């Protein structure tokens, strides 16, 4: 049996930048310590929320190294190492596992738009050549490429493929995936507004944007479900639904990074082509943050 890399709420953590655009490691340390102190069950570094698409190779590997060293085994660290170039995904994955990560988050190849056979071959090729557990990241709204339940069923048999982050928003498809896959294939919600529904189907937790600003909340939603207390999980999910939605009122991670700055974190700017929200949306975001007591 494959033991899940983590259960509960893993944070898809931002990458803070300095004013001149460099990775801000002191600020990242502060954010990591805040997450660990407030209930986060795992750190997911260099994912979409971490603006991995605009990190250089050196920044990517150094951010992973810094995170592993800072976390120092207190909770699992999962590194985003996917690419639309299978060979590069392998190179980055091998470097990350040498650093000592607990898991590899591998997004489906973007832009190329691989077939289901291509996806199977891509993930099998990678899984055959790593010794660290893989979580497949399925987010077709960004990649134009979707892993189907039947493909998951085939991939779930591989000893190094441990699960999937499902950000399709399609609960019917997610239910079919869980029904077809091995019991030890862990499915995580990739959408904060679907933590409870996916976990009610057998999901193991969430890889969360919300956790950046409300780690204890995301943890509690997931932990309640894991403990079989779906009534508490449901109530929390609905109570914080507006906050979840606010984190996606613009392209991720634009809102969450702006929200963290409102909270006093030194999150820094976004890297182009991403840019801050306009004044109207910023005011709407601030109003939601005030409603939930995250800013005064």
CA–CA dist 255, 247 (Å, integer):
5
CA–CA dist 88, 95 (Å, integer):
11
CA–CA dist 91, 114 (Å, integer):
20
Q: Tell me the HSE value of 54 on the side-chain side, using a 13 A CA sphere.
A: 18
For residues 158, 163, 165, 170, the Cα torsion angle rounded to the nearest 10 degrees is: 90
One DSSP character per residue, 219-234 reads HHHHHHHHTT-HHHHH
Burial (CB count <10 Å: 0-12, 13-18, 19+), residue 171? middle
For residues 98, 99, 104, 109, the Cα torsion angle rounded to the nearest 10 degrees is: -80
- 205: closest CA among 21, 18, 26, 41? 41
Q: Which helix (H) or strand (E) holds 282?
A: helix 279-291
- 51: closest CA among 256, 281, 288? 256
What positions carry a catalytic annotation? 137, 165
- 51: closest CA among 38, 39, 63, 66? 63
CA–CA dist 249, 156 (Å, integer):
34
* CB-based contact 93:124 (threshold 8 Å): no
- Tokens describing residue 150: 């039947």
């Amino acid at each position: 049996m494959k033991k899940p890399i983590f259960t509960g709420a893993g944070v898809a953590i931002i990458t803070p930048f300095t004013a001149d655009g460099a990775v801000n490691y002191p600020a990242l340390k502060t954010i990591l310590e805040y997450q660990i102190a407030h209930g986060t069950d795992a750190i997911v570094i260099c994912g979409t929320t971490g603006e991995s698409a605009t990190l250089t190779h050196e920044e990517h590997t150094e951010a992973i190294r810094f995170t592993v060293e800072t976390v120092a085994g207190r909770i699992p660290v999962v590194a985003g190492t996917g690419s639309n170039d299978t060979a590069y995904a392998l190179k980055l994955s091998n470097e990350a596992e040498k650093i000592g990560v607990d898991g590899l988050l591998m997004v489906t190849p973007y832009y190329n738009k691989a077939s289901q056979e291509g996806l199977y071959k891509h993930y099998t090729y990678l899984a055959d050549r790593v010794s660290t557990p893989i979580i497949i990241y399925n987010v077709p709204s960004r990649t134009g490429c979707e892993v189907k339940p039947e493909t998951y069923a085939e991939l779930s048999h591989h000893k190094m493929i441990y699960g999937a982050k499902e950000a399709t928003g399609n609960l019917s498809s997610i239910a079919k995936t869980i029904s077809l896959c091995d019991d030890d294939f862990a499915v995580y919600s990739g959408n904060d507004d679907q933590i409870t529904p996916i976990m009610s189907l057998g999901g193991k937790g969430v890889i969360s944007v919300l956790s950046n600003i409300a780690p204890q909340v995301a943890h509690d939603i997931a932990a309640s479900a894991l403990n079989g207390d779906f009534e508490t999980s449901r109530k929390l999910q609905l109570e914080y639904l507006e906050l979840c939605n606010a984190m996606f009122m613009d392209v991720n991670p634009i809102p969450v990074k702006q929200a963290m700055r409102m909270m006093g974190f030194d999150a820094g700017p976004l890297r182009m082509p991403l840019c801050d929200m306009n004044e109207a949306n910023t005011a709407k975001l601030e109003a939601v943050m005030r409603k939930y007591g995250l800013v005064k």
